[in-house]
């Protein structure tokens, strides 16, 4: 493992040790090293207090100083250095009321969420520290909470979402007691701010295994807390939208559109989850147009109107959504083929150089008024619209 650790990370650990402190790699990076995968980010745990970490290294950021985390900048690399800690009581199901710095690495590892994430690596001794059997679980493909899963999910409900994320990401099975606790405590997710839920949800949506992860979110009850309208006003069966999401490329707005395609007012739903305004509108826009193209007549004038409202550049996304929904069984074979035909017509139309709105016509309102020698009025707009279509 030693050889897989980048030099700047080793340098940070060396420097802490030379200053009389212990320092280890911890969490996801150790898990990934053991899987033979290059870690995305590197976390170091140390006995040094945050103030000392800030003193030892010239360039730092106080990223999560209240919880003991300082980001150390080393060239282009950023390493999160966190002081070993024990967590105080969790009062609100989100985070500890206070943290206590100090203790040993074993204690620090036991406060972590899952056994596979609760390992440390000491590169100076080339030693793995694994007090909860994380390596064995990793090799057996098992996701298991550290300690009593009911206690751990009550402390921080986000761990339930993380469980489903890791299972999908790493192709694991959830250990039965951990799964039972998750299902019975799922309502705890309601206590979390959507700012914390969203990043984990996004990671789940971008996985290759999104369809089965969504099925687990459904089975556990978590999905109903995140997207209640999926259960009250969905015009497609859940199995269909899960499959559709899985058939779409791993692009967030497309995967969300696949999942939420049977709902109305998707933009408000997403804004409520703290997705950006433009992003939420974009997903809502796509779904609205899918609904229109699947129901409305396909005469040339309607198609032109449709294309100008959709926007030529959105046609590829709509095509992907239509194909995924057809393949997922959202329509009868005949319906699906008919909708795909409309899309092909739209594709041909999009290549033609026609005006996308009355404003792009070669004539404007004053031309018409001059030509007819009549007084201006709302009738001008009506004529322009007729000319355009």
The Cα angle at residue 169 between residues 75 and 76, in degrees rounded to 5: 5
Q: Which of 41, 104, 127, 177 binds Mg ion (CB under 5 A)?
A: 41
Supply the minimum distance, in Å, between the C-beta of residue 344 and ligand ATP. 41
* Phi and psi angles of residue 90, each rounded to the nearest 5 degrees, phi first: -90, 115
Supply the minimum distance, in Å, between the C-beta of residue 43 and Mg ion. 6
> Does residue 286 contact residue 318 with C-beta atoms inside 8 Å?
yes
Is position 117 an interface residue for ligand ATP (rule: CB under 6 A)? yes
Residue closer to Mg ion by CB (options 41, 136) is: 41
* Phi and psi angles of residue 294, each rounded to the nearest 5 degrees, phi first: -85, -15
Q: Which of these ranges, 8-16, 24-32, 71-79, 333-341, lies near Mg ion under the rule CB under 5 A?
A: 24-32
Write out the two tokens for 213: 């992860």
Supply the minimum distance, in Å, between the C-beta of residue 317 and ligand ATP. 27
Q: Which of these ranges, 155-163, 224-232, 237-245, 368-376, lies near ligand ATP under the rule CB under 6 A?
A: 155-163
Is position 112 an interface residue for ligand ATP (rule: CB under 6 A)? yes
Residue closer to ligand ATP by CB (options 40, 232) is: 40
First CA to last CA distance, the chain? 67
Supply the minimum distance, in Å, between the C-beta of residue 28 and Mg ion. 4
Supply the minimum distance, in Å, between the C-beta of residue 36 and ligand ATP. 14
Residue 136 binds which entry of ligand ATP, Mg ion, none, CB below 5-8 Å type-dependent: none
For β-strands 85-87 and 77-83, DSSP reports them as: unpaired
Residue 156 binds which entry of ligand ATP, Mg ion, none, CB below 5-8 Å type-dependent: ligand ATP
**Which residues inside 24-83 make contact with ligand ATP, applying CB under 6 A?**
27-28, 40-41, 43
Q: Which of these ranges, 38-46, 92-100, 130-138, 377-385, lies near Mg ion under the rule CB under 5 A?
A: 38-46
Nearest to 9 by CA among 36, 38, 51, 49: 38
Please report the DSSP string for 32-78 in residue order.
HHHHT---SSEEEEESS-HHHHHHHSSSEEEEEGGGTEEEEEETTEE
* Phi and psi angles of residue 306, each rounded to the nearest 5 degrees, phi first: -60, -45
* Residue at shortest CB range from ligand ATP: 28
> Does residue 31 contact residue 25 with C-beta atoms inside 8 Å?
no
Residue closer to ligand ATP by CB (options 28, 330) is: 28
* Residue at shortest CB range from Mg ion: 28
Is position 317 an interface residue for ligand ATP (rule: CB under 6 A)? no
> Does residue 57 contact residue 95 with C-beta atoms inside 8 Å?
no
> Does residue 89 contact residue 97 with C-beta atoms inside 8 Å?
yes
Supply the minimum distance, in Å, between the C-beta of residue 150 and Mg ion. 25
Is position 156 an interface residue for ligand ATP (rule: CB under 6 A)? yes
Nearest to 5 by CA among 53, 39, 46, 48: 39
Q: Which of these ranges, 1-9, 20-28, 78-86, 180-188, lies near Mg ion under the rule CB under 5 A?
A: 20-28
Residue partners of 351: CB distance under 8 A and separation at least 6? none
Burial of 22 per CB tally in 10 Å (0-12, 13-18, 19+): middle
> Does residue 248 contact residue 255 with C-beta atoms inside 8 Å?
yes
How many residues in the shown chain lie near Mg ion by CB under 5 A? 2
Q: Which of these ranges, 152-160, 181-189, 262-270, 381-389, lies near ligand ATP under the rule CB under 6 A?
A: 152-160
Q: Which of 113, 137, 175, 317 binds ligand ATP (CB under 6 A)?
A: 113
Query: At 81, is the secondary structure helix, strand, or coil?
Result: strand
Is position 108 an interface residue for ligand ATP (rule: CB under 6 A)? no
The neighbour count for residue 32, using CB atoms within 10 Å, is 18
Q: Which of these ranges, 112-120, 129-137, 236-244, 362-370, lies near ligand ATP under the rule CB under 6 A?
A: 112-120
Question: What are the residues binding ligand ATP (CB under 6 A)?
Answer: 27-28, 40-41, 43, 112-113, 117-118, 156, 158-159
């Amino acid at each position: 493992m030693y050889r897989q650790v980048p030099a700047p990370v080793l340098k940070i650990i060396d420097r802490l040790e030379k200053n009389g402190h212990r320092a280890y790699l911890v969490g996801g990076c150790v898990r990934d090293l053991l899987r033979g995968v290059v870690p995305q980010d590197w976390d170091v745990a140390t006995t040094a207090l945050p103030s000392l970490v800030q003193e030892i290294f010239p360039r730092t950021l106080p990223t999560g100083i209240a919880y003991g985390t300082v980001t150390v900048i080393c060239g282009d690399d950023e390493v999160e250095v966190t002081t070993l800690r024990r967590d105080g009581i969790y009062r609100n199901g989100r985070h500890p009321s206070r943290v206590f710095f100090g203790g040993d690495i074993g204690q620090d590892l036991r406060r972590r969420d899952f056994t596979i994430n609760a390992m440390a690596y000491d590169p100076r001794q080339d030693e793995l520290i694994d007090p909860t059997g994380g390596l064995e679980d990793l090799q057996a493909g098992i996701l298991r909470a550290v300690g009593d899963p009911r206690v751990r999910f009550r402390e921080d409900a986000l761990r339930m979402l993380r469980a489903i994320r890791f299972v999908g990401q790493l192709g694991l099975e959830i250990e039965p007691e951990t799964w039972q606790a998750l299902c019975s405590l799922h309502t705890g997710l309601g206590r979390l701010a959507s700012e914390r839920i969203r990043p984990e949800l996004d990671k789940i949506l971008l996985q290759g295994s999104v369809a089965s992860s969504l099925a687990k979110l459904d089975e556990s009850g978590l999905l109903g807390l995140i997207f209640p309208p999926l259960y009250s006003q969905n015009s497609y069966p859940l199995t269909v939208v899960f499959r559709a999401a899985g058939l779409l490329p791993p692009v967030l707005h497309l995967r969300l559109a696949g999942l939420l395609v049977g709902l109305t007012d998707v933009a408000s739903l997403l804004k409520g989850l703290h997705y950006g305004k433009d992003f939420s509108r974009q997903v809502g826009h796509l779904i609205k147009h899918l609904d229109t193209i699947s129901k409305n007549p396909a005469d040339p004038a309607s198609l032109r109107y449709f294309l100008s409202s959709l926007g030529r550049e959105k046609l590829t996304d709509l095509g992907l959504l239509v194909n995924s929904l057809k393949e997922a069984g959202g329509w009868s074979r005949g319906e699906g083929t008919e909708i795909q035909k409309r899309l092909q017509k739209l594709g041909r139309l999009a290549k033609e150089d026609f005006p996308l709105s009355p404003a792009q016509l070669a004539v404007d309102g004053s031309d018409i008024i001059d030509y007819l020698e009549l007084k201006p009025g709302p009738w001008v707009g009506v004529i322009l619209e007729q000319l355009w279509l």
